[in-house]
Structure 1
Amino acid sequence: MATTTPSAHLFTLPTELRNAIYLYIFSPTPGDTSPASSPPTPDPLALALRFDKSPYPSNPSSTPPSTSPLRLLLTNRQIHSEAALLAISLTPFHLAGPLADPENFALRSRLLSQAKLGAIRHLTLTARISHLRALNETWAGLPFGSPELQLETLTIVPRRPDCSSGAYAEVADLSQSHTLAYVFTETFKGLRGVGVVEVRNQGCFNDVVWRILYRGVVYRLFRWGGGECGVRFECSAEDGGGEQEAWFRVLFQGSREGGNEVGAEVRRLAGGELPDPGPTAGFGGP
């Protein structure tokens, strides 16, 4: 009498092998995280969770590709149960500017369980400068005002207001760069729940204004916290790449090694001379 051999499929594999397969499928490619890459396009999971219906720049071109790895989660309940948190933790979600406001973020993320919201590790916020004011005005030291979020990377892509294309564009850009420097500095002073904040230019400002913005952030933090205030800086080369490629990162305590302490970065930007920060409180002080 002939015997039948049970067919092999994904769920006949040991759990360790299935986890390795999920990790391979959902891990982003190197281009997804490089500083010079464009903001990630919307993905099916983000759309399903109502996280990304109208990102800047407005580009309804696009229907999410049917080949997205996240569509695997729709296959059946077991795959969703086994892989959803891993997939969310590896996906760089892209949020539109209005979601910088904690009330809007809470409203749009209400469909997520606390476990899924807490699994998110990579967020990109593309926002006009007016929306970025929410970072220091309403976040209260928590990304998007959400205590559940524990981000490895928060990427911010600023967009200029429409008036910046008029006759007084240069004056408007300088004003906006000073506004951003203030907003970022006040936010970084007490930000928790984030390992690295990366700010990408991507054509928002020309090279000169971008350098003013970056130097303004570094020097304001130096004036506030002294030479060592718990954050470190990395930036793209100022003599290469152009405004489309420019970026800087702020690395918070416990994030990873690398970068310059604020005092060392001020010294580098000033050509070797370290100015007196003045009588200001350090990080963690009153």
Structure 2
Amino acid sequence: MKYNIFFLLCFIVQFSIAQPDSLYIKKKNIVVEPTPKWENKNKGGIDLNEVAFVNWSSGGSNSISAILSVKSTLDYTYRDFVWSSSINSRYGINQQESQPLKKTDDLFELNSSLGYRRSKNSKWYYSARLNFKTQFANGYSYPDTSNPISKFMAPGYMFFGGGMEYGKDIKRLSLYVSPLTFKSTFVLDENLANAGAFGVSPAIYDDEGNVLVPGEKVREELGILVTNYYELDVAKNVSLKSTANFYTDYLNSFGNIDVDWEVLVDFKVNNFIKASLGSQLKYDNDVKTVVVIDEDADEYAQGGAKVQWRQLLGVGFVVDF
């Protein structure tokens, strides 16, 4: 009897010593399932530039300019699936002494991208993208402020397509190639549509100037889209972002490439103050120069397509919310 009790005690001690190891082994084999992850970022900022003169011998005009920007992003990741959406808006004005208020920047842009890769080690994603872009207010060829050359949804652009996207770190470097991308150009203003602005078919008039066939308000294209995004930390608190888009239409002038390339350099002073230096280069053969024929009759004509370029330099405030 006493031997049985001895062996029972030995067994209990052995079991109690071995139990943590066996539990440890089981824990090592537990596979943690990934969970969906949402990430939301919101950023607002204002860039200011002001010049003032008092008895300045070299002359000059007092001026002040400001650009207000708001950007919101929402990212979703789960296993090998990624979804990224963003809304980007900017509006800039400039006021010079004894001159009317001028618009310097105007943008409303919506982006949404879906991606799926076959394995964790793959750097290629099957992707689908949507991009929509327009402006808030009328645009003018200053100093003429009586004849707008652009308006809200005149133009408006929408790209939608699917393809492949390469990205080792897809948030900082990506190359997207879509062999099938639909492009829609909206010119919902009657006068600009009749003039054939931004590539739509112009109106057909009779000999007396009456409209027989109204101008096209929506132009649709099907082509190839190539997009490259690159983000680089140049130095401490200095970052560079480059976005380049190249598009050519299968049906109309294949090989004639539309270009939209934007480069932005951010200089971060602290969490609330920054400086920005930006450049944007655009070319679209369908976007012709609008020439005013008769200001009183609101008559327009088309000129040739030209390279468009804008440069931005500002110092301002930024806040995350």
Into which bin does the TM-score normalised by the smaller protein fall?
Answer: under 0.3
Task: Tell me the TM-score normalized by structure 1.
Answer: 0.26
Task: Tell me the TM-score normalized by structure 2.
Answer: 0.24
Please identify the structure whose Cα radius of gyration is greater: 2
The structure, 1 or 2, with the larger RCO (C-alpha pairs under 8 Å, 6+ apart) is: 1
The structure richer in strand per residue is 2
